[in-house]
Amino acid sequence: MINQSDNVVKLNSINRRMFILAIAKITILGGIVSRLFFLQIKENKKYLTLSDKNRIREWKLPPVRGDFQDYFGNIIAGNFEAYQLHLIPEQVDNFKYTINRIKNILELSNKEFQKILKRKNEIKPWETLIVADNLNWENFSKINNNLYDLNGVKPIISISRNYPYKGNYTHILGYVSQANENDILSSEIIKEKFVQGLKVGKTGLEKSFEHNLIGTNSIERYEVNAYGRRVSQLAFQEGDKGKTVKLTVDTKIQKLANELLIDQAGSICVMDIFTGHIIAMHSSPSFDPNAFVFGISQDEWQLIRNNPMKPLINKSISGNYSPGSTIKPIVALSALENGIVNPNFTVHCRGHKHPLELYGQTYHCWKKEGHGYVNMKEAMKQSCDSYFYEVARRLGVDKLSETAKKFGLGKKVFNDLFGNEKNGLVPNTEWKKNVIGRNWLLGETIITGIGQGYIQTTPIQLCLMTAQIANGGHKIYPKLVIDDNLSFENDKFISLVNSKKHIKFIQEAMFSSTNEIRGTSYKSRIDDPKYQFAGKTGTAQVKRITDRDRELDLKTSEIPYEERDHALYVAFGPYKNPRYALSILIEHGGSGGSNAAPLAKKLFKEIVDRHEIRKNFETKKYLNI
């Protein structure tokens, strides 16, 4: 029998347990209430922000690139709407399923599909994968119609680069392509504005003016559901388009230069002899820069890269060539300026049978039967090598070098505007001693006098040289880009000559070379004074001519292409009131008189006709200010 004291003990024990349990419940409930109060009241702003971060996404778009315009305001590098397909791998529930669905919808080849998978492996899971960067409208519509089954996939209407004139401006403008690691590391601005798909300048003015052209990013904010799918757009902050860069080039002249050099390797440069404006600067062959915008295929790249005519080289500023006889106006001018000879100085040219012999070397004139007795004007007109051998011998290479450099040879024309412009080379005795470690030889002076040997020039330098002869020997500062905020250095008329009559004589001699019988470019003359021009031919050897070569006397077409001479021509016009100068180079084109000079005839007709249009445009522009 259980006594009463046992019942009391049990009851007390139960009461204690109930009390402890109640205390525990109260403590737990109090903790929960306290925590809820802390989260809801004290930490409200923090967790509201975190919630918004999960609910609201921010999308940074590539900036809109600024345009390039020609002199008349025509867009020569602009933008167009490109339909793209993006996705972020970590936001896709089943990447394998999604990417295979995309493959089927877009009917991608296995090669294209593998490229996408490779790109996916090269980026971080939270970075944007560009599945397609230039969809046509049909495929873009298909993707939009199937979005219900493509979680995390984003069809995007983006802005991309377009070059409406294709290969006409390639070597001036360059091209853009997707920014790579080197671009990001080398530029803080590119790093700051980088998003997947950002296109940046790789060559030419696109690269030089990157910081002006790039613009600022647009920002899009939108709300997503629990699955990360976009529900609604909340805000859009539009970025600023990059600046417009205006060039001095006339597209019509630029296109004509392209047409004249079609299927040939070479360069045509045209310059205003007073303002220094570059009217045209074409290098041939060219290529379509649009091919690089979305990534060029390996096959296309190899075709361009392995082309023996080297389309990747901007021959106008990066091609170093012997100037040949186009240097003779400078040789003659230097001799006159230094008082070495006068215009009546005469040399007897007896051709191949009686060459100049010096220290065991023979120096021939190009004309087999010789030119007979010639003074300076006749020697220039007929491009007599024997005459200029003797003038160069008397002048010396150091005086010749000084004059040549004054007129723009041996130095970059555009300073640092292009990363690939070459200096060329105007040698002198000090240069050879310092660079080669040998003394200068008299025979080297003689061949320098006809534009052979060590001397190297670029086509744009020859154009500048000719422009400064044409304007009466005044220094000009070539310009390719118009900046209305800059004062033109051309206002400083610095004379490069001691005597105006010397430069006038050179102009007249160049006129005779083109417009008088026996002139080397006589067949390319224009009789109408409106279009009449003065010029100088040049034929630059690319290999030494042996006695056997002289005996064979082969036609240009019979010589292997890579062994043919380069054809050159420089000119200015209209002769009575000069305004424009040009240089023409045709690699392995043979004779300058036969192959380069005829192009000048077509060019000057177009250039002079366009002058009035250009002049009227300038007048209207200043009246509208």
| pLDDT tens digits, one per residue of 50-103 | 455 556 667 788 899 999 999 999 999 999 888 888 887 877 878 888 888 888
pLDDT band (50, 70, 90) for residue 299:
confident
With b for 16 or more beta-carbon neighbours within 10 A and e for fewer, the 555-587 pattern comes to ebeebeeeebbbbbbbbbbbbeebbbbbbbbbb
Give the fold, CATH level 3, of 57-244. Answer: Penicillin-binding protein 2a (Domain 2) (3.90.1310)
- Going from N- to C-terminal start, the domains of the chain cover 57-244, 251-287+315-623
Residue 20 — pLDDT band, cuts 50, 70, 90?
A: confident
**For residue 363, is pLDDT > 80?**
yes
- Contact yes or no for 583/269 (Cβ under 8 A): yes
The yes or no reply on domain 251-287+315-623 and CATH 3.40.710.10 is yes
- What pLDDT band is residue 261 in, cutting at 50, 70 and 90? very high
Question: How far out from the chain centre does Cα 226 lie?
Answer: 49
pLDDT at 366 over 60: yes
Of 249-253, 550-554, 568-572, 576-580, the one with minimum mean pLDDT is 550-554
Report the sign of the C-alpha dihedral through residues 591, 592, 598, 603, in that order.
positive
Supply the pTM of this predicted model.
0.84
Structure-token pair, residue 513: 């070379």
Query: Can you read off the two tokens belonging to residue 58?
Result: 């921010």
Q: What pLDDT does residue 486 have?
A: 47
Of 102-116, 398-412, 449-463, the range with the lowest mean pLDDT is 102-116
% of the chain residues with pLDDT over 90 = 59
b/e per residue, 24-48, with b = 16+ CB within 10 A? eeeeeeeeeeeeeeeeeeeeeeeee
User: Two tokens at 6?
Assistant: 């046992």
Instruction: Select the highest-mean-pLDDT range: 1-5, 127-131, 521-525.
Output: 521-525
Residue 550 reports pLDDT greater than 50: no
What is the four-CA torsion angle of 150, 151, 157, 162, rounded to 10 degrees? -70
**Which of these, 158, 223, 224, 163, lies nearest to 196 by C-alpha position?**
158
Cα–Cα dist 453/239, whole Å: 55
pLDDT level of residue 545 (50, 70, 90 thresholds): low
Alpha helix (H) ranges present in 477-623? 500-515, 547-552, 597-623
The residue that leads in pLDDT, 618 or 408, is 408
How many CB atoms are closer than 10 A to CB 127? 13
Residues noted as catalytic: 325
Query: What distance in Å separates the CA atoms of residue 229 and residue 574, rounded to the nearest whole number?
Result: 68
Q: Which residue has the tokens 């002769």?
A: 575
Asked if 314 and 440 count as a contact pair (C-beta separation under 8 A), the reply is no
- According to the model, what pLDDT value does residue 285 have? 97
The 10s digit of each residue's pLDDT in 95-148 is 888 888 888 888 888 887 888 888 888 777 777 788 887 888 888 888 888 887
Report d(CA 243, CA 245) in Å as an integer: 6
Q: How confident is the model at residue 488 (pLDDT cuts 50, 70, 90)?
A: very low
Pairing of strands 68-69, 245-247: parallel
462 vs 567: CA distance, rounded Å: 13
| CB neighbours of residue 430 within 10 Å | 11
pLDDT at position 29: 80
Q: Which residue's structure tokens are 């896709």?
A: 92
Report which secondary-structure segment, H or E, holds 35.
helix 4-37
Indicate the burial class of 419 (C-beta count within 10 angstroms; 0-12, 13-18, 19 or more).
exposed
- What is the identity of the amino acid at 264? Q
Provide the token pair at 541.
């050897």
Does residue 624 surpass a pLDDT of 70? no
Q: What is the mean pLDDT of residues 230-255?
A: 87
Least confident among 112-116, 258-262, 417-421, 532-536: 112-116
pLDDT band at 304 (very low <50, low <70, confident <90, very high): very high
Give the mean model confidence (pLDDT) for residues 290-317: 92
- Tokens at 350, concatenated: 């007896």
Stretch 334-354: mean pLDDT: 93
Determine the average pLDDT of the residues in 149-170: 87
How many whole angstroms separate alpha carbon 314 and alpha carbon 188? 28
Distance CA 510, CA 503 (A): 11
Instruction: Name which of 233-242, 526-535, 552-561 the model is least confident about.
Output: 552-561
Token pair recorded at residue 46:
């923090």
Distance CA 448, CA 514 (A): 23
Q: How far apart are CA 607 and CA 571, in angstroms?
A: 12
Most confident of 43-52, 180-189, 225-234: 180-189
Q: CA angle, 586 as apex, 580 and 590 as ends, to 5°? A: 120
Q: Are 518 and 287 in contact (CB under 8 A)?
A: no
Residue 459 has pLDDT above 70, yes or no: yes
